[in-house]
Amino acid sequence: MLYVIYAEDVPDSLERRKTARPAHLERLRQLQEAGQLLLAGPFPFIDNVDPGPAGFSGSLIVAEFESLQAAEAWANDDPYVAAGVYHAVSVKPFKRVFPD
């Protein structure tokens, strides 16, 4: 089943993001290679693809896991969590309708 991982950053998270980003991206690449990743990316803090020093306000990941518990475990083990980038992470089941 698909799950949405929605994470919200702590204030001024940009430097923490930069430090943890290589490990975070590697985990996403592993999901992609396993055919589990539908999409992933950050929310720019301002209305710009490159927010510069404004940074990001959170992240969204949609991926397939065998259970809600597996998705939560994966999300909680993210390098951004360990680095203190996120102050809140929620995981919810997701039913894809479009595109089919």
The pLDDT, as a whole number, for residue 69 is 98
Cβ-Cβ contacts under 8 Å for 2 (sequence gap 6 or more): 38, 62, 63, 64, 93, 94, 95, 96
Distance (Å, whole) CA 22 – CA 45: 20
With CA atoms as reference, report the closest residue to 59 among 42, 45, 76, 71.
42
The pLDDT, as a whole number, for residue 100 is 82
Per-residue pLDDT of the chain (100 residues; tens, 9 = 90+): 999 999 999 999 999 999 999 999 999 999 999 999 999 999 999 999 999 999 999 999 999 999 999 999 999 999 999 999 999 999 999 999 999 8
The pLDDT, as a whole number, for residue 81 is 98
What are the backbone dihedrals phi and psi of residue 24, each rounded to the nearest 5 degrees, phi first?
A: -60, -45
